[in-house]
Amino acid sequence: MAIPSLTAADGTVLPAIGLGTYRLKGSDGVDAVTHAIRAGYRLLDSAVNYENEGAVGRAARAEGGVRDELVVTSKLPGRHHRYAEALTTIEESVYRTGLERIDLYLIHWPNPRVDLYVEAWKALIEARERGLVRHIGLSNFLPEHVDRLVSETGVAPVVNQIEVHPYFPQQEAIDYHREHGILVQGWSPLGRGNDLQENPVVAEVAAAHGVTPAQAILAWHVARQVIPLPKAASPQRQRENLDVFDITLTDAEVDAITALGRPDGRLADQDPAVYEEF
Ligand SMILES: NC(=O)c1ccc[n+]([C@@H]2O[C@H](COP(=O)([O-])OP(=O)(O)OC[C@H]3O[C@@H](n4cnc5c(N)ncnc54)[C@H](OP(=O)(O)O)[C@@H]3O)[C@@H](O)[C@H]2O)c1
């Protein structure tokens, strides 16, 4: 299945959907990621803190015929924001994947109280210079953090991976990133298995298009040009989640799902202004 793509301001092209991999690890993880690549996924999420760079890298290596199309992603944890530590952490990520380089490396959380994210960003810039990574980006950064990074280093991220699902649609953040040519990846795009899939508004949109609630939600992400990263362990769900690019929601349907948003809609109250992760 061919996946459409989206392009950042600097010309970086990313697949319009990716595989979430949190909790996919070990041999089960290798199997799940292998199925996903064979089904057509080209963007694979991962992170140092998911302890699964090995599984993702192993699957990517084994499917060597499509290596050039894959966007293997990892993320720098908050405990290694210091410049030298960040570079060593990125090297270790590359070694764990067994790949020659990682395609997309993100700072996992800004941890603004600690205030080392600009230093970490300089390390990611250097890692790109050294060829350890192809593209660099952010995760969970608020616009004020992005503005500061860009003004202090002159280097913009290609992507910011943030929490996006119908209960927390992030319209303002999406508008900000679009204005700046930064792509948005949506984490927990299906609400991480909460009641979203039983929501009557979602169910009505799904029924109107003859698709599943998960597909209706993913079509909503696609319509908003957010790159969703649904995690699915089974081949059947992985394929279902990929089969969403022929579903064209009306503006009214998109708006109705967006209207499910609420200020306290975050899944676990992880406001990047104060939430910290190491
Ligand atoms: N940057 C960050 O700080 C951050 C934070 C959280 C997550 N993430 C990334 O985002 C990814 C996705 O988020 P997530 O894992 O929290 O949640 P999610 O993708 O919103 O939801 C995953 C859950 O939905 C189920 N599911 C998948 N496809 C389905 C379908 N077609 N029908 C019904 N249920 C379906 C999965 O089932 P199965 O159990 O069967 O697979 C799993 O229980 C993560 O895996 C991770 O890569 C990043």
List domains and CATH numbers for the chain.
Answer: 12-192 (3.20.20.100)
Residue nearest to atom 38 of ligand 1 (CA): 232
Q: pLDDT value at position 57?
A: 98
Q: pLDDT value at position 119?
A: 98
Q: pLDDT value at position 193?
A: 81
Q: pLDDT value at position 268?
A: 96
168 SS3 class:
strand
Residue nearest to atom 36 of ligand 1 (CA): 232
Closest CA to 58 of 39, 77, 32: 32
Please tell me the distance between residue 84's alpha carbon and the centre of ligand 1 in angstroms.
32
Please tell me the distance between residue 191's alpha carbon and the centre of ligand 1 in angstroms.
7
Residue nearest to atom 22 of ligand 1 (CA): 192
Active site residue 50: yes
Please tell me the distance between residue 154's alpha carbon and the centre of ligand 1 in angstroms.
34
- Give the active site residue among 50, 105, 117, 167: 50
Give, rounded to a whole angstrom, the gap between the first and last alpha carbons of the chain.
37
Question: CB within 6 Å of ligand 1 — which residues?
Answer: 20-22, 45, 108, 139-140, 161, 187-193, 197, 212, 214, 229-234, 237, 240-241
Q: pLDDT value at position 140?
A: 98
Q: pLDDT value at position 2?
A: 78
Q: pLDDT value at position 207?
A: 98
The pLDDT tens digits of the residues spanning 105-115 come to 999 999 999 99
Q: Which residues of the chain have pLDDT under 70?
A: 1
In terms of C-beta distances under 8 Å and separation of at least 24 residues, what long-range contacts does 197-205 make, across chains too?
199/166, 199/260, 201/256, 201/257, 201/259, 201/260, 202/166, 202/257, 202/260, 205/249, 205/253, 205/256, 205/257
Residue nearest to atom 8 of ligand 1 (CA): 187
Q: pLDDT value at position 165?
A: 98
